Amino acid sequence: MARGAFIVVEGLDRSGKTTQTDLLASRLATSGVSVERRKFPDRTTDTGQLIDAYLRGTTDLDDRAIHLLFSANRWEATASLESRLSAGATVLCDRYAFSGVAFSAAKGLPLAWCRAPDVGLPAPDLTLFLDLAPEAAAERGRIWRGALASETRGWVTIDAGRDREAVAQDILEHVESHVHGIDAPIGRLWVDDDVSPLF
């Protein structure tokens, strides 16, 4: 039996990720696709609660320590993610390892170091990057569009500056070919790519 597709929606803060992921999930469900939503960070787990305290400013953590916690938060979800994909569900995920790399690299941590803890995670079949022009000159925008886009298979950039319905339609068109099952095994993130001399 074909497995479900792993589809990630990434982008800058306030690019409409959550709204668009919700819209996509409800439209796919209406057309009979078995769809499941995920979101990282998942604040419900033990690592998620540490991350939540950091994001709310109640705990101060070293940049590297919080980076590794975000990564651990994704690793601990891996078994259940893979089992849902194997059961045929299409998984729509709001943020993933690309957020981890972009946020920490923008703080000045080396790109290869940022990527290392996420190497080998389940690789998305499709990553939709919701792009906002005002971030074009910012460091984080450059990381998204440069290193991450060029090193990631199945990366599609969506112009998120348009009205909600135009963005939703664009996303739906990119997703449609993925939701009828995938025969290939689940890929491993950044494992096959010659992404850095570290690996």
Considering all CA atoms of the chain, what is the largest pairwise distance in Å, rounded to the nearest integer? 47
| From 64-72, 80-88, 133-141, 158-166, span contacting ligand DGP (CB under 6 A) | 64-72
Taking CB under 6 A as the rule, does residue 190 contact ligand DGP? no
> Which residues between 158 and 187 bind ligand DGP (CB under 6 A)?
none
Instruction: Write down the least CB distance from residue 99 to ligand DGP, Å.
Output: 4
Taking CB under 6 A as the rule, does residue 95 contact ligand DGP? yes
Among 11, 41, 122, 141, binds ligand DGP (CB under 6 A): 41
> Which residues between 5 and 34 bind ligand DGP (CB under 6 A)?
13
Among 4, 11, 48, 100, binds ligand DGP (CB under 6 A): 100
- CB neighbourhood size of 135 (10 A): 18
Buried b (16+ CB within 10 A) or exposed e, 154-172: bbeebebeeeeeebbebbb
> 78 φ, ψ to 5°?
-60, -45
CA nearest to 104, candidates 39, 150, 37, 51? 51
Taking CB under 6 A as the rule, does residue 70 contact ligand DGP? yes
Q: Which residues pair with 93 in a beta bridge?
A: 8, 38
Contact residues: ligand DGP, CB under 6 A:
13, 40-41, 55, 66-67, 70, 95, 99-100, 103-104
